[in-house]
Structure 1
Amino acid sequence: MTSQLPDATQRWRCGGCGNLTRFDVTRTRQTTEFWHFDLAGEHTVESTDVKGEFVASVSCRWCGRDDAIEIVDRNEAALSEDPTSQSPSD
């Protein structure tokens, strides 16, 4: 199980089913937001500053596992899912 967010060079992968695209993420964020209210009382959040973030859990949307989520390099994941990148068997 991972409680880490991938950075710009990484992504999540489910080691159970191979999913690279669908995850349920439970996280807690502490933010400071600038709210702008119009005269009718409706608001728009104009800016958000994330002060802290905690990832409680990540689970695979396809198979439901939360014990097989891993962080992998984006380039390696892209190569492993591209059938043209694999050498054909002779």
Structure 2
Amino acid sequence: MESDHRYRCDACGNVTRFDVVVTATTRRYHHFDLGGASRVEEEEILDQQLGSVTCRWCGRTDAIRVERAPVSPPEH
């Protein structure tokens, strides 16, 4: 989802708590040190599919919609 959008549950009004299931295919650059420990230094998402979105407040999956997020005022 784009950063200027958010989920809303039309059943209960929730806009902050959702379980989101996503299936993704990625390409990762793993950096291994000589001791065998690794860390991911780069990751590219090649494909991504949204599986489901569930409201954490009421458990509904059929009342979720995507809406434009409100614009935050600039910090001073």
Q: Find the residue that maps to 2:70 and give its secondary structure.
A: helix
Instruction: Name the residue aligned to 1:8.
Output: 3
Mind listing any 5+ residue stretches in structure 1 that lack a counterpart?
79-90
Matched, 1:18 2:13: yes
Aligned with 1:60 (options 24, 42, 55): 55
**Can you list the C-alpha shifts for 1:29-70, whole angstroms capped at 9, x where unaligned?**
000000000111110000000001001100001111000000
TM-score, normalised with respect to structure 1: 0.74
CA RMSD of aligned residues (A): 1.6
Instruction: Name the residue aligned to 2:46.
Output: 51
- The 2-side partners of 1:10 and 1:29 are apart by 20
> Could you tell me the percent identity over the aligned residues?
43
Mind listing any 5+ residue stretches in structure 2 that lack a counterpart?
none
- Larger Rg, first or second structure (1 or 2): 1
TM-score, normalised with respect to structure 2: 0.87
Q: As a proportion of its length, which structure holds more helix? A: 1
* Runs of 4+ off more than 6 Å: none
Matches within 5 A, 1:17-36: 17-36=12-31
- The 1-side partners of 2:49 and 2:26 are apart by 12
Matched length: 72
Give, as a single letter, the amino acid of the residue that structure 2 aligns with 1:43: S
